[in-house]
Amino acid sequence: MTFQEFKASVEQWAQDRGIYEHSTALAQCLKAVSELGELADHAIKGDRDAIKDDIGDIAVCLVNVAKMKGLTVVMEDPGENVMPEDLQECVAVMADVIGRIASGLATYNPKEYASGQFEGAFYALQDLAERAGFTFEECYTHAWNEIKDRKGRMIPGGAFVKAGEAMNKNTSGPAFPVPLNPGESYQGHGPYDGMSLRDYFAAKAMQSIVSKMSRTQYDYIGAEPVASDAYAFADAMLKEREK
């Protein structure tokens, strides 16, 4: 699998699952940061199989960031590996590379990125893979094979809900499901679960709680107790509903 094939496949996969619609470039970059944290842990432990997973997962995240920034990334002959020989030092360099990208995506320090800057990040990841004893192709192909059959869709707010999953066992399932036959659509959407019934009940309770509070009360109490009370009402509703 060439890098361009991997990139095109990930982009289509992400598009089909609503990631570009409901996520942001910064959120996807922070997922790369999260995966990098796992890579650091596995590098310290010397867990080579997990390192292979982590490198591929970071590549998936960076493909999404580049796509959401409208950048075209093409990897050609990278030349000599410039990464340190020590794997943990390689991870430290990678942390700097991805950290700079994430910082540039933040609103306090926005930067316009050229395709070459993202290509540099992929080359750094390729060199890191080589230091770990893999080819970059092995890592990103493994990542693609792991995600390609993963069903589900990202919903507003950025949560990824697996197909057929009722959010979690405590949500009582979707509030407004839209089941459709293959090939059908509703207002431009395919099948999706929407918000959970628990979230719907909590939203209704929160609206009532907030409407009865003065601004002074709200400033004193804060949002977290209100949200906690709202979900307490929602859980009580679900419990009563089971009787």
Q: What is the mean pLDDT of residues 110-123?
A: 81
32-46, 153-167, 182-196, 227-241: segment of lowest average pLDDT: 182-196
Decide if pLDDT at 96 tops 60: yes
- Residue ranges of domains in the chain: 3-147, 164-243
Report residue 196: phi and psi, to 5°: -80, 160
The percentage of the chain sitting over the pLDDT mark of 90, rounded to a whole number, equals: 42
pLDDT in tens, 155-199: 666 666 665 444 444 555 666 666 555 555 444 545 555 677 888
Q: What is the pLDDT of residues 58-73, one digit of tens each?
A: 999 999 999 999 998 8
Q: Which residue has the higher pLDDT, 213 or 208?
A: 208
Higher pLDDT, 109 or 1: 1
Q: What is the pLDDT of residue 107?
A: 76
Q: pLDDT at position 233, please?
A: 86
Q: How confident is the prediction for the chain on average, in pLDDT? A: 83
The model's pLDDT over 13-28, given as tens digits with 9 standing for 90+, comes to 999 988 998 889 999 9
CA distances from 220 to 202, 216, 224, 227 (A): 21, 6, 11, 14
Of the ranges 29-38, 55-64, 78-87, 140-149, which one carries the lowest mean pLDDT score? 78-87
pTM over 0.85: no
Angle, vertex CA 141, rays to CA 7 and CA 65, nearest 5: 35
Measure the CA–CA gap between 36 and 26, rounded to whole angstroms.
Answer: 15
- Percentage above 70 pLDDT, the chain: 80
> What backbone phi and psi angles, to 5 degrees, belong to 82?
-105, 5
